Chains A and B, each alone.
Chain A
């Protein structure tokens, strides 16, 4: 089981689906950011699984995964700063109450 590429890919697919559900269904902006982190981690798991099982990709996958982690850190920093800035103006973290452009 741990020696088959399929099990890792199915695992990362399930993790991505869970992250999608959280992003679409949660009301809280920070919950949505956490779901995005779950989805990024699922993609990273896919990259590393291919790197571990396909010999020509072996080192490259680890390098790409490291770069993805660094970019995800930048994304989390800016995303959370935006959430904090919006919270300071609107006094709520719930995204369905950010509706001032509706009318």
Chain B
């Protein structure tokens, strides 16, 4: 038996409930990312925020982008960040000061940014419909490999260059001390 659009008796739509739950998860986990003391927990909260964002993408009708978000962000970037955390943290890092000295100014500035963006969004009438459109994956594929094929190839070259550059930057050079002295 298919479930209806909205909850019976209450009249609240399932989409709205999903949106509220995912948005609350996203904002809370993002706040945890920037405020938690232990940086490995920040990385884990970052994974939660990426996952709830993938849910919001699916809610918006973009299943391909949601799947890419899970694959690339949760599967690759989060793991990369966790590995970098494990390589660079010392034992006493969590007990030391987490924020810079200007943290209160930064909090004020970012609160101003958030309020200004929200006020601008709410004050503007966007030329948009009141209904979400489903993005067909076939349309995305046609656009990606016909209209956007040059950016696609440029991005693939960029990724190759980034990987080569990262390996060059992060590799261990045993003979560099001697070169520096000479």
Contacts and interface: CB of A to CB of B under 8 A. Distances in A.
A76 B46 CA distance: 14
B97 A93 contact: no
Interface in A70-100: 70-78, 80-85, 87-88, 91-94, 96
Nearest to A10: B118
Contacts of B162: 73-75, 77-78
Interface residues of A, number: 76
Interface in B36-84: 39, 42-43, 46, 49-50, 53, 56-57, 59-62, 64-65, 68-69, 72-73, 76-77, 80-81, 84
Contact of B18 (A2, A28, A54, A59): A2
A2 B53 contact: no
B166 A77 contact: yes
B85 A30 contact: yes
A62 B133 CA distance: 12
Contacts of A51: 62, 135
Given A25-B100, A27-B100, A48-B60, A82 B39 contact: no
Contacts of A29: 88
A101 interface: no
Contacts, number: 258
A31 B165 contact: no
B30 A15 contact: yes
A20 B115 CA distance: 13
Contact of B107 (A14, A21, A71, A83): A21
Contacts of B131: 3, 53
Contacts of A34: 33, 42-43, 46, 81
A46 B66 CA distance: 14
A5 B128 contact: yes
B143 A26 contact: no
Contacts of B163: 77
Given A2-B59, A67-B148, 20 more contacts: A2-B132, A9-B117, A14-B27, A14-B114, A17-B111, A18-B114, A20-B106, A24-B100, A25-B100, A27-B98, A30-B85, A41-B53, A53-B131, A66-B144, A69-B73, A72-B77, A77-B80, A81-B167, A93-B93, A96-B100
Nearest 8 A/B pairs, CB to CB: A17-B114, A13-B117, A22-B34, A24-B106, A74-B162, A21-B110, A81-B166, A2-B19
